Amino acid sequence: MTSEMGERIRRLRKQKGFTLDRLAELAGASKSYVWELENKNPPRPSAEKLAGIAAALDTTVDALIGTDPPDAALSPEDRVFFRKYRQLDEGEKRRFRKMIDLWGDE
């Protein structure tokens, strides 16, 4: 019996076309660790490894564990985008908003 988190990891991994080996490599984890997360119930993930898996799958830890924040209506890709945007300094954010405004004028 697998957990919901394990199901999410497996589904996203397969959508990306990753093998267990490839996801483990990208996430800095072992193949057996990723397998355990996908197949054991309850999984016992470390925060660091889970963050690596989320990054490799272009999603968030919240999306993997099922504790979506208030922006849950956003796709995982959009949540990753906004998380990266929030990490920009104010000058970079201003330039980015200006580019978006220019695109909208076409």
Domains of the chain and any CATH numbers? 4-104 (1.10.260.40)
- C-alpha distances in Å from residue 43, one per residue of 2, 5, 79: 9, 8, 24
12 vs 59: CA distance, rounded Å = 9
For the chain, what's the residue count?
106
Judged against a pLDDT cut of 60, whether residue 106 lies above it is answered with: no
Q: What's 89's DSSP letter?
A: -
| CA proximity to 64, closest of 40, 47, 81, 78 | 47
- pLDDT surpassing 80 at residue 38: yes
Residue 56 confidence (pLDDT): 94
Residue 1 confidence (pLDDT) above 60: no
Q: Quick one: average pLDDT of 50-75?
A: 82
Cis peptide before 45 (omega within 30 of 0): no
Is 0.75 topped by the overall pTM? Answer: no
Q: How would residue 101 be classed by pLDDT, with cut points 50, 70 and 90? A: confident
